[in-house]
Structure 1
Amino acid sequence: MDIVIKLSQFLLSLSLLIILHELGHFIPAKLFKTRVEKFYLFFDVKYSLLKKKIGETEYGIGWLPLGGYVKISGMIDESMDKEQMALPPQPWEFRSKPAWQRLIIMLGGVTVNFILAFIIYIGMAFVYGDTYVANADLKDGVWVTNPAIENAGIQTGDKIIAVNGQKIDRYDDIAKNLFMAKDVTVERNNEIKTIKFPINIINKISNSGVKRSLVEMRIPFVVSGFEETSPNKKAVKPGDILTHINGVPVKYADEVAAQFKNFSGKTIPITIKRGDQVVQSTLKFNKESKSGVAYASRLPYSNLEKLNLYTINRQKFSFAESIPIGIETGANGLVEYGNQLKTIFNPKTEAYKEVGGFAAIFNIFPNTWSWEAFWTITALLSIMLGVMNLLPIPALDGGHVMFLLYEIISGKKPSDKFLENAQMVGFVLLIALLLFANGNDIYKAIVK
């Protein structure tokens, strides 16, 4: 059932983004009286799953879910329709339109992508408001849960003050900033330190094999369940909070996990908090110092509040207030994704090894249905799709825009033969990028 929910979110998001992107080309094409022959969700290689012709346009769903397209008459695109291009230009064709109209048609898709992202962020600010824990409220610092971050020099208990010179105000911003960190400023034992991260930190994080967040809030050891062979199923219950181990008080789960390594083959006394009761019990450990007791690595904000651990800040916004907040969130998303691309194109970072394809996108979606998560991911993907399509690669919107700008500035239109060759080169590049990204997914699935 989890896979069905995950797949449903993935396909819904992908379909929404593709349809709206192609609609961004379709609407200005129709406004400028340019004939659109096809409007397809997914690619209809050899055959279509569904199709219906309305007026001069065939609408359909293809079987190959690698994107979508609109086929505009008189345009050199992925269809490579050389027969049509060999005929004299017709008034309804793309090539007969003024350069400025063709430019608007080509920019329509990415424009819709960016507008969609901003609309989603505005809507989310209005519907969900803002809920966060202030970074300053993490009095005992963070819990480092990824060995690559630990090896880079960050320790559990460090208070992360700034990343790349930018002050961190919210807990939720820590992990995503660490992922792109060059240097991190921390407070450790009342002393301020600046830690330099290796340039290939992204690759090191990926190779660590740990899929959890890079850091977590420090929370108590709350029992969440048991391994099947655990001898401690009667000693503790889910929801119990460990407060003492072998007579020593413990506040956080990371402290408990560190102590557990010392009890190979032993049975030790523990104190637990069960609701309003304080209960004495024991835990048994095998020779590998395993108790078979699972604990929660993170807790919902509502639980954190009940345990009086952290202050949860909540803000609600009117629709008018949501507009600048959503725009700012979208603008920050654009800047962040631009920085990620710069990192990927820098060979020294080795970030190109982490480029993923459809499987990587699929894995972003949660196993449980969450509209908040769905819209957050969809907005991010919309920004990614818009930016990627603007890359000046023939066969992408950005390639067509590049040639159109050249035509507008120079007054000279590239020949159809040149555009055909450029389209072919761009198509080969796109296939290579698709193979590389999805090949990375396959490699990680098999090797890692």
Structure 2
Amino acid sequence: MEIAIKLAQFILSLSLLIVLHELGHFIPARLFKTRIEKFYLFFDVKFSLLKKKIGETEYGIGWLPLGGYVKIAGMIDESMDKEQMALPPQPWEFRSKPAWQRLIIMLGGVIVNFILAFLIYIGMTFVYGDSYIANKDVTDGVWVANPVVKKTGLQTGDKIISVNGVPTDRFEDVNIQLMLAEDILVERNGKQETIHVPHDFVGQLLGGKKQSIVEFRVPFIVSEIGNDSPNKDVFKSKDIITSFNNAPTKYADQVLDQLESLKGKTVPATVKRDGKEIAVSVKVTDSAKLGLVYAGRLPYSNMEKLGLYKVTREQYGFFESFPVGIAKGADQVSGYWQQLKAIFTPSTGAYKGVGGFKAIFDIFPEQWSWEAFWSITALLSIMLGVMNLLPIPVLDGGHVLFLLFEIITRRKPSDKFMEYAQITGFIILLALVLFANGNDIYRAITR
């Protein structure tokens, strides 16, 4: 059932983005009286699942869910319709329109993507407001469990002050900032220290086990007990370990850090159960395990009830939502450009994190959440817009590049040149798709 929910969100989100992106091309093309021959969700290679011709345009749904397209008459695109291009230009064709009109038609898709993302962020700000934990309220510092992060010198208990000179205001932003970190300013034992991060830090992260960079420090709350656990008669679900091996333990990391040195031993502990403190004896296995699953991540409401962190909640009126939502969208666009820059800089190793359709599928939660759905859809809309702006022939950015050349030089590239450019662009795009989805397969096998 969980897979079906993830799949439904995945298909709905991509379908919405594809249709609106193509509408971004369709609407200005029709405004400039350019004929649209096809408008398709997904690709109709050899055949389509559904199609209907209305006026001059065939609308349909293809069987290959790798995107969608509008086929504009008189345009050299991925369809490579050489027969049409060999005929004399007609007034309703794309190639007969002024360069400025063709530029608007080609930019229409990415403009819609960015507008959609900003509208979603504005709407989410108005409907959901903001709930976050201020970084200053994480008084006992972060939990560092990732071995790659530990190698940089960042330690559990460090309070992160800034990343690359940018102050960290909300804890939710910490992991995103750290992904592209060069210098991290932390407070440790009352003193400030600067941690210099290796240039290939992001590559090391993506090449290792899938793990958060840092986490909230939370108590060891038992959520599940294994049937083969030596402690199955000791613990109950929702027990909170408050002391372990005669030492007070406020956080789970204080328990986990001791297990390696206590292999095969039985140690005293105290658990909080139904509001009472209960003394127990705990067996540590020879593999340094307790046979328990603990609640490593807690909802904000639970952390607030436990008195761990103060949750800040902000609600916005309709007009207040616009500047806040726009600022959120701008931050996401800026962040994604920074990620792309890192990806195209091989020395960072960020290319290891490039993913295909499985990576996108995995983003969606297993339970239906409209808040999560719209948040992911907004992010994907920005990604689609930015990716389409890349100056690769066959993508919108490639067409825009040639149109700008034409406007500046007043020289139009020949149809033969555009044909070869499209073939080259298609090969580059195919290589990128194979690489991204190959990364998915590699990660699935190695992890």
| TM score, norm. by length of structure 2 | 0.98
Whether 1:245 and 2:244 are equivalent positions in the alignment is yes
Task: Compute the displacement of 1:6 (Å).
Answer: 1.1
Equivalent residue runs for 1:112-127 within 5 Å: 112-127=112-127
Task: Compute the displacement of 1:261 (Å).
Answer: 2.5
Output the CA distance in 1 between the equivalents of 2:243 and 2:251: 11
Whether 1:427 and 2:426 are equivalent positions in the alignment is yes
Secondary structure of the residue aligned to 2:237 is coil
2:8 aligned residue = 8
Output the CA distance in 1 between the equivalents of 2:97 and 2:184: 53
Task: Compute the displacement of 1:305 (Å).
Answer: 1.0
1:342 aligned residue = 341
Which deviations, in whole Å up to 9, do the C-alpha atoms of 1:204-255 show, x marking residues without a partner?
112221x232111111111111123112222111111111113221111000
CA contact (8 A) 1:132 1:313 kept: yes
Secondary structure of the residue aligned to 1:215 is coil
CA contact (8 A) 1:134 1:170 kept: yes
CA contact (8 A) 2:134 2:170 kept: yes
Percent identical pairs in the alignment equals 66
Code of the residue aligned with 1:140 in structure 2: it is D
Whether 1:184 and 2:184 are equivalent positions in the alignment is yes
Output the CA distance in 2 between the equivalents of 1:164 and 1:102: 41
Code of the residue aligned with 2:199 in structure 1: it is I
Moved more, 327-336 or 269-278: 269-278
Output the CA distance in 2 between the equivalents of 1:289 and 1:78: 57
Whether 1:366 and 2:365 are equivalent positions in the alignment is yes
CA contact (8 A) 1:267 1:283 kept: yes
Secondary structure of the residue aligned to 1:194 is strand
Whether 1:328 and 2:323 are equivalent positions in the alignment is no
Whether 1:307 and 2:298 are equivalent positions in the alignment is no
Equivalent residue runs for 1:19-418 within 5 Å: 19-209=19-209, 211-418=210-417
Output the CA distance in 1 between the equivalents of 2:56 and 2:366: 42
Output the CA distance in 1 between the equivalents of 2:372 and 2:227: 32
Output the CA distance in 2 between the equivalents of 1:143 and 1:172: 14
Residue segments in structure 2 that go unaligned for 5+ positions in a row: none
Output the CA distance in 1 between the equivalents of 2:314 and 2:90: 57
CA contact (8 A) 2:129 2:315 kept: yes
Secondary structure of the residue aligned to 1:262 is helix
Task: Compute the displacement of 1:395 (Å).
Answer: 0.5
| TM score, norm. by length of structure 1 | 0.98
Secondary structure of the residue aligned to 2:347 is helix
Output the CA distance in 1 between the equivalents of 2:261 and 2:365: 36
Code of the residue aligned with 2:255 in structure 1: it is V
Code of the residue aligned with 2:167 in structure 1: it is K
Moved more, 165-174 or 260-269: 260-269
CA contact (8 A) 1:161 1:167 kept: yes
Task: Compute the displacement of 1:418 (Å).
Answer: 1.1
Which deviations, in whole Å up to 9, do the C-alpha atoms of 1:49-73 show, x marking residues without a partner?
1111111111111111111000000
Which deviations, in whole Å up to 9, do the C-alpha atoms of 1:272-315 show, x marking residues without a partner?
11132112222222222321011111111111111111111000
Task: Compute the displacement of 1:20 (Å).
Answer: 0.4
Code of the residue aligned with 1:298 in structure 2: it is R
CA contact (8 A) 2:271 2:280 kept: yes
Give the RMSD, CA atoms, in angstroms. 1.1
Which deviations, in whole Å up to 9, do the C-alpha atoms of 1:384-419 show, x marking residues without a partner?
110110111111101111111111111111111111
Task: Compute the displacement of 1:270 (Å).
Answer: 1.5
Moved more, 273-282 or 61-70: 273-282
Task: Compute the displacement of 1:46 (Å).
Answer: 0.5
Task: Compute the displacement of 1:266 (Å).
Answer: 2.4
Count of residues paired in the alignment: 447
Output the CA distance in 1 between the equivalents of 2:45 and 2:97: 29
Output the CA distance in 1 between the equivalents of 2:245 and 2:413: 79
Code of the residue aligned with 1:439 in structure 2: it is G
Code of the residue aligned with 1:307 in structure 2: it is L
Task: Compute the displacement of 1:260 (Å).
Answer: 2.5
Secondary structure of the residue aligned to 1:320 is coil
CA contact (8 A) 1:199 1:348 kept: yes
Task: Compute the displacement of 1:154 (Å).
Answer: 0.4
Moved over 4 A (4+): none
CA contact (8 A) 1:392 1:399 kept: yes
Which deviations, in whole Å up to 9, do the C-alpha atoms of 1:152-187 show, x marking residues without a partner?
110000001110110001111111111111111111
Output the CA distance in 1 between the equivalents of 2:211 and 2:350: 19
Output the CA distance in 2 between the equivalents of 1:228 and 1:348: 46
Which deviations, in whole Å up to 9, do the C-alpha atoms of 1:111-141 show, x marking residues without a partner?
0000000000001101110001110111110
CA contact (8 A) 2:206 2:352 kept: no
CA contact (8 A) 1:231 1:292 kept: yes
Code of the residue aligned with 1:379 in structure 2: it is A
Output the CA distance in 1 between the equivalents of 2:207 and 2:86: 52
Code of the residue aligned with 1:50 in structure 2: it is L
Task: Compute the displacement of 1:337 (Å).
Answer: 0.6
CA contact (8 A) 1:394 1:422 kept: yes
CA contact (8 A) 1:146 1:208 kept: no
CA contact (8 A) 1:152 1:197 kept: yes
Code of the residue aligned with 1:73 in structure 2: it is A
Code of the residue aligned with 2:437 in structure 1: it is N
Output the CA distance in 2 between the equivalents of 1:228 and 1:144: 29
Output the CA distance in 1 between the equivalents of 2:208 and 2:95: 52
CA contact (8 A) 1:183 1:197 kept: yes
Secondary structure of the residue aligned to 1:91 is coil
Which deviations, in whole Å up to 9, do the C-alpha atoms of 1:86-133 show, x marking residues without a partner?
111111111111111111110000000000000000011011100011
